[in-house]
Structure 1
Amino acid sequence: MSTDDTLSQTSPDPRVRAGVPDFLHDEGFSDAAIEALLALDLSLFQWRRMAEKGEFKGKVLEGTSEKLEPAILQGLLSIAQISAGLGRDVAEPPTIGMVAEVMAVDPSRASRIVSELVSRGYVTRQAVQEDARKSVLVMTPKARAFLRDFTLSKWRLFSQAFLGWSGEEIATFSDLFGRYVSGLLTAVSAPAGDDENN
């Protein structure tokens, strides 16, 4: 058994025990790149934990006049995103089906969240002229005021993370992170087995 094999079996790092550094080396990554990728993996883990625990959104909500529960907040944010066309080809009048898709929940769950938003005065339902059986979701002035406060509170917190960064550093980070997300989306959407053919 080689020294590398012994280290892999005795290392407390599960990524090392699973052979990740060896895999990356076989894929052509340099030692420096492997070390950087493992460090990035840890940073992304911390970021995911913060997101899953709701720490960031909780801190953002401290700067708003109303405190919405996570699911209700996500429902309202989803409606706003669809209305603005964020992450979509075009802006569209939101429907419950679209909200379910953005939130990755079943339509019945989305319907309950929308009903709560309606009862709290954040959203109204409006019938579509071409099809009276179909309704779209429209944000009220109350929702728009809340979202303005939420957005400004988010950016106050967000900007603190970049204090001391130069404009060039921010531009580089934005470009590289965008490339990372784009590459990850491509990898996730690739048909199974595609990587075996390369």
Structure 2
Amino acid sequence: MSPRITETAETAETAMTDVSKLRAFDPRIHAGIPQFLEGKGFSPEASEALLELDMALFQWRRMAEKGEFKGKVLEGVTETLEPALLQGLLSIAQLSAGIGRPDPVQPTIGMVAEVMAVDPSRASRIVSELVSRGFVERRAAQEDARRSVLAVTPKSRKFLGEFTLSKWRILSEVFAGWEGEDIATFSRLFARYVSGILAVVSEAKDVPSEAVKP
């Protein structure tokens, strides 16, 4: 096993130890939840596994919010982009490719603001910086020349290619010690989990505002 893979395994073990410490430090985090899950029909073993999953996801969210994973990926890319600019560029690429949408779209600042969950003025400043640095260009919309849309540039495509390769170098190390069957099972179950979350969120959005009352 390579030193890098050993380091990754040790980091994962440390993270799980931190999760256990967090639960032991403040048992209120899951106070009453085992009983709630039991009332929903989950076995004690399933409930314990769900609580461990919850804490592991907490660790992942914290890493994501701090930008640790993306920061590691950027170490393998020649160009440097600040977190907000990186998120803006990824949002534009996501919209252009139609990821998370029925079809690709011509990105606008309003769409970028929606994907990034920021106000349009903030998105406009991010886009302007990406344009000035040569990652994005403004174009007239095909169906309406009066409307401005955004497009990635060759420089941007080169950066995104390096970013993707760097990401997969890291992920290949993360999964290097896994059996192929375990990877397939993890992929299938995680996709099922994400689909379930999306369905619940979508249902919540469809509920009329007057129906959501205490």
TM interval, shorter chain, is 0.7 to 0.9
CA distance in 2, matches of 1:58, 1:189: 31
**1:177 pairs with 2:190:** yes
Show the counterpart of 2:199: 186
Show the counterpart of 2:163: 150
- The within-5 A match list for 1:90-129 is 90-129=103-142
Identity %, equivalent residues: 69
Unaligned runs of 5+ in 2: 1-23, 209-214
Runs of 4+ in 1 over 4 A off after TM superposition: none
Show the counterpart of 1:50: 63
CA distance in 2, matches of 1:12, 1:88: 40
Tell me the CA shift for residue 110 of structure 1. Answer: 0.9
**1:33 pairs with 2:46:** yes
**Residues 15-59 of structure 1: per-residue CA shift (max 9 Å, x gap):** 343x11110011110010011001101110110111111100000
Amino acid at match of 2:44: D
Tell me the CA shift for residue 129 of structure 1. Answer: 4.4
Amino acid at match of 1:148: G
Amino acid at match of 1:112: R
Unaligned runs of 5+ in 1: 1-9, 194-198
CA distance in 1, matches of 2:57, 2:104: 30
Question: Alignment partner of 1:133: what SS?
Answer: coil
Tell me the CA shift for residue 168 of structure 1. Answer: 1.2
**1:132 pairs with 2:157:** no
Question: Alignment partner of 1:136: what SS?
Answer: strand
Show the counterpart of 2:29: 15
CA distance in 2, matches of 1:27, 1:129: 52
Amino acid at match of 1:32: E
TM-score normalized by structure 1?
Answer: 0.87
Amino acid at match of 1:175: R
CA distance in 2, matches of 1:162, 1:130: 45
Show the counterpart of 1:3: none
Higher RCO, 1 or 2 (CA under 8 Å, sep at least 6)?
A: 2
Q: Which structure would you say has the larger Rg?
A: 1
Show the counterpart of 2:88: 75
RMSD of aligned alpha carbons: 1.7
